[in-house]
Amino acid sequence: MQASFARLAMLIFLIALPARADDLADFNAAIEAAAAHQRVALGYLRTGNIDLAAVEIDRMRTAWSRVTALKRPAELNRDPQLYTTTMLDISTKLVGVSIMMDSGRPEAARKSLEDIRAELKALRKANGVVILADCIADANAAMDKLMVFNDVALGWSKPDTARAMSAATTEYQRELSRCDNLADAKIRAAPEFRRLIDGAKNSLLQIPAAISQRDLDLLHRLLIELRSFDNLLAFRYG
C-alpha cells in the first residue's frame, strides 16, 4: 500500500512540475506557508494533541500542493536532480504522514515531518540559499551543545570545562546574531521576535558570571531560560 501511495505522489508531482524558473521569493513564501502548519503540527504532536496535529498536517499538504505548482527558481538550479528528488520525496512523505496518523503512529509522523524540514534545509544549502528557518535550526543545534552543561555534577575542577562552556556560549551568541541579521525587516522589528532574540542574548551575557563564580544554580536557571527561548524560536520561526 505504501508503494502505491508513493507512486501516486510521484505521478501528481510530475504532472504538476513546471519546467521554467520562478521567483525565489515566491517559492520561499510558499514554503513558509507550508512550514507554518508543519511547526504547529509538530507542536501538537509533542504535546499529544493528535486530532489538532492531523488538522494541521492536512493544511500543510494543501499548502505544499501550492509549492509544487510553482516553477523551480533559478537559484535552485545548481543540481536540478536534487531539487526534483527532494520535492518528490517530500510529496511522498506527506502522504505517508497522513497514513501514519490514521494508523495511530504519531511518533513516526513527527519524525517524517522533522525529516522534511531537514531535506529542505539541505536543498537550500546545496544551492547556497539560506533563510531564517535554516539559521534557527543551526541555532537549535548550538543550543544543544550548550545544554550539555546543565549538569549537577559539572566538573568545575576540569581545566577544559570553563573553556568549553565559554566556546559553546560564544557559538550560540554568534548563531543568534546571524539569525537576527538574516530576518527581514518586518520579522526583525516584530515584538515577539525581539523578545525571544533579545531575551536569549541577555541570558547569554550572564553566563560568564556563572562560570567565573562556579554558580550551578545560576547556570541552571540561565540554561533553562535559554532552552525556553530556543524552543519558542523553533516553534515560531524554525
Least confident stretch, 3-17, 62-76, 97-111, 118-132: 3-17
Return the pLDDT at 22.
67
Whether the per-residue pLDDT at 141 is higher than 50: the answer is yes
Residue range 2-126 in CATH 1.20.120: yes
Whether the per-residue pLDDT at 19 is higher than 60: the answer is no
Residues of the chain with CATH 1.20.120.660: 132-237
Give CA separation, 149 vs 63, 84, 201, in Å. Answer: 40, 41, 18
- What are 20-47's pLDDT values in tens digits? 446 899 999 999 999 999 999 999 998 9
- Please tell me the CATH superfamily of domain 132-237, with its number: IL-4 antagonist (De novo design) like domain (1.20.120.660)
Whether the per-residue pLDDT at 13 is higher than 90: the answer is no
As a whole number, the mean pLDDT across the chain is 88
Q: Of the ranges 1-5, 14-18, 68-72, which is most confident?
A: 68-72
- What are 105-114's pLDDT values in tens digits? 999 999 999 9
Work out the average pLDDT over 1-10. 49
Return the pLDDT at 14.
45
- Report the distance separating Cα 213 and Cα 234, nearest Å: 31
Q: What confidence category does residue 18 fall into, taking pLDDT thresholds of 50, 70 and 90? A: very low
Q: What confidence category does residue 161 fall into, taking pLDDT thresholds of 50, 70 and 90? A: confident
Least confident stretch, 19-23, 93-97, 125-129, 184-188: 19-23
Q: What confidence category does residue 238 fall into, taking pLDDT thresholds of 50, 70 and 90? A: confident
